[in-house]
């Protein structure tokens, strides 16, 4: 980068550079800022979630979205108004407000029911089981218990899907994406729509010998 430095000549001249204050420019810039602001505030696109608490509300919205793209086998509902049951295992990371919002929604004719369960509870009533990061040590056990039932397992920890879970919500950078283990979905008899798969990252079962 640098190179030989010649002995510096006398350049301490009394020359001075002082920029003039151009109020016109400052004013123009200010107007632009204000205009931007007014303009932006005029259009309604409120999503009133501060950055700090946005992760789990978004994750819950993902769960809701998944219900629209996954087909459960017909026998998983007794009647058209049987609720679709979303179970959250262990420590519930979602706020009551936003869970309440989810409860007010329906999927087709089925109302949504949200339950929180302990890891030891029976989960066969659940259509969807969410395993939060805090319960990741129990994830393998939960997945193996649910093996063979038509339950959509959703996790949020590294390796959840490759170890038999069906969907894994992962942060990449500061955004969320999701992995889908298609074989695991097949085993559960769940059909996932092509539209959702197009957005997913498809993963495969990891052979158990490399797991631990």
DSSP-derived pairing of the beta strands 201-203 and 128-131: unpaired
Q: Where are the alpha helices (DSSP H) in 70-135?
A: 96-103
Give the shortest CB-53-to-other proteins separation in angstroms: 8
Q: Which is nearer to other proteins, 14 or 74 (CB)?
A: 14
Residues 2-61 touching other proteins, rule: CB under 8 A, are: 2-9, 11-13, 15-19, 21-22, 25-26, 28-30, 32-34, 36-41, 43, 45-55, 57-58, 61
Distance from C-alpha of 212 to C-alpha of 208, rounded to nearest angstrom: 7
Distance from C-alpha of 159 to C-alpha of 205, rounded to nearest angstrom: 10
Q: Which is nearer to other proteins, 48 or 108 (CB)?
A: 48
User: For other proteins, which residue of 77, 92, 93, 98 counts as binding (CB under 8 A)?
Assistant: 98
For tokens 């979630």, the residue is: 49
Distance from C-alpha of 31 to C-alpha of 28, rounded to nearest angstrom: 5
Tokens standing for residue 135: 């319960």
Give the shortest CB-97-to-other proteins separation in angstroms: 7
Q: Which is nearer to other proteins, 167 or 188 (CB)?
A: 167
Residues 142-201 touching other proteins, rule: CB under 8 A, are: 158-159, 171-177, 196, 199, 201
Radius of gyration from C-alpha coordinates of the chain: 27
Q: Which is nearer to other proteins, 52 or 118 (CB)?
A: 52
């Amino acid at each position: 980068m640098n190179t030989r430095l010649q002995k510096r000549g006398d350049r301490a001249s009394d020359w001075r550079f002082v920029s003039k204050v151009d109020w016109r420019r400052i004013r123009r810039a200010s107007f632009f800022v204000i205009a931007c602001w007014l303009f932006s505030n005029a259009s309604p696109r409120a999503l009133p979630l501060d950055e700090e608490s946005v992760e789990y509300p978004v994750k819950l919205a993902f769960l809701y979205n998944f219900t629209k793209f996954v087909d459960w086998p017909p026998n998983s509902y007794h009647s058209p108004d049987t609720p679709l049951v979303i179970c959250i295992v262990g420590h519930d990371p979602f706020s009551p407000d936003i869970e309440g919002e989810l409860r007010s929604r329906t999927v087709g004719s089925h109302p949504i029911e949200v339950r929180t369960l302990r890891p030891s509870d029976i989960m066969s009533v659940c259509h969807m089981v969410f395993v939060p990061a805090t319960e990741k040590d129990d994830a393998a056990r939960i997945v193996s218990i649910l093996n063979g039932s038509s339950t959509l397992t959703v996790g949020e920890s590294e390796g959840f899907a490759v170890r038999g879970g069906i969907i894994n919500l992962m942060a990449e950078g500061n955004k969320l994406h999701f992995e889908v283990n298609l074989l695991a979905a097949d085993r559960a008899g769940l059909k996932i729509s092509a539209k959702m798969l197009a957005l997913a990252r498809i993963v495969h079962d990891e052979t158990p010998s490399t797991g631990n």
